[in-house]
Structure 1
Amino acid sequence: MDLPKIVARRAGGGWMLEVNDLAPAYVRRLGEAAECGRALLKAADAPGADQGVQLQVDLGDELNRRVKAATQATVDAHKAQLQAAVELREAAAALKSQGMTGRDIAHVLGVSPQRVSQLLTQPNTQG
């Protein structure tokens, strides 16, 4: 069963909530939207209200697009960081296999000797 959906849109200094076919409701803070919507749904005996609700924030096409792009950029950056860590561990291990000391590896990779120690003891797994 799909959870009931609440759409929140900016209105004045707060948020106007559209909840199914119920009359719109106003909340001051977005953090209050889900609970307010759930209360409205329960009062109207709407099915699924006890299971929770979906909160959709609608900021208009331009801001929705910008928020989605920013969120995706954050996800992409996290994935790139995980991949960079894998590559750094692999490089440290390859340098170690060539007989280099931890201090020399640190100098080559531009990290601290402590970081080299971490890289050489962490499992080489991708998230």
Structure 2
Amino acid sequence: MALYEVHARKWENGWELRVAGMGVTWSPTLGDADSRAREFITSQVVQEERAVHIDLHPHVNEDLDQLAVETRRALHTADEAMRGATAKAREVVHGLTEAGLSPTDIARYLGVPPQRLEQLVQG
């Protein structure tokens, strides 16, 4: 599978897609950028090289691009923390259930609404 780096830059009519070493195409939305870039690339490569992976790098402006990087990093950290909390919740719920506590008592013991406890345990 071939990896193609695509830089997407916002402009008034959508997104300019610059494919490294190949040229430029466009997409009306960022959501369509992968498929548009893939179509552009496969129209220019030989049949054997048609397995294409897109590495998309969207750009709006320097400030927003940096804020987006920081946001993705914070969301990733939050996701990891949530996975850890869910694992701990499952472990403590199991132990509290074995200790004879009801789901209502477990929720109160942990300081979460019963619906949230159910979400954590099912996770």
Common fold by TM > 0.5? yes
RMSD over aligned Cα atoms: 3.3
CA distance in 2 between counterparts of 1:76 and 1:29 reads 28
CA distance in 2 between counterparts of 1:19 and 1:6 reads 5
Instruction: Judge conservation of contact 2:2–2:52 (CA < 8 Å) in 1.
Output: no
- The Cα of 1:14 is off from its aligned counterpart by 0.9
Structure with more strand by fraction:
2
Instruction: Judge conservation of contact 1:38–1:49 (CA < 8 Å) in 2.
Output: no
Percent of residue pairs identical: 23
CA offset digits 1:50-107 (Å, max 9, x no partner): 111422212333222211211121221122122222333343445456x453254343
Structure with bigger gyration radius: 1
Q: What letter matches 2:60 in structure 1?
A: L
Q: How does 1:9-24 map to 2 (within 5 A)?
A: 9-24=9-24
Q: How high is the TM-score relative to the length of structure 2?
A: 0.66
Aligned residues: 117
Q: Who is 2:30 aligned against?
A: 30
Q: Find the residue that maps to 1:31 and give its secondary structure.
A: coil
Instruction: Judge conservation of contact 1:106–1:112 (CA < 8 Å) in 2.
Output: yes
Q: Who is 1:3 aligned against?
A: 3
CA distance in 1 between counterparts of 2:32 and 2:105 reads 55
For structure 2, the residue ranges without an aligned partner over 5 or more in a row are: none
Q: How does 1:1-127 map to 2 (within 5 A)?
A: 2-45=2-45, 50-54=50-54, 55-96=56-97, 99-102=99-102, 103-110=104-111, 111-112=113-114, 115=117
CA offset digits 1:3-23 (Å, max 9, x no partner): 122211011131112123444
Q: How high is the TM-score relative to the length of structure 1?
A: 0.65
CA distance in 2 between counterparts of 1:36 and 1:9 reads 14
For structure 1, the residue ranges without an aligned partner over 5 or more in a row are: 123-127
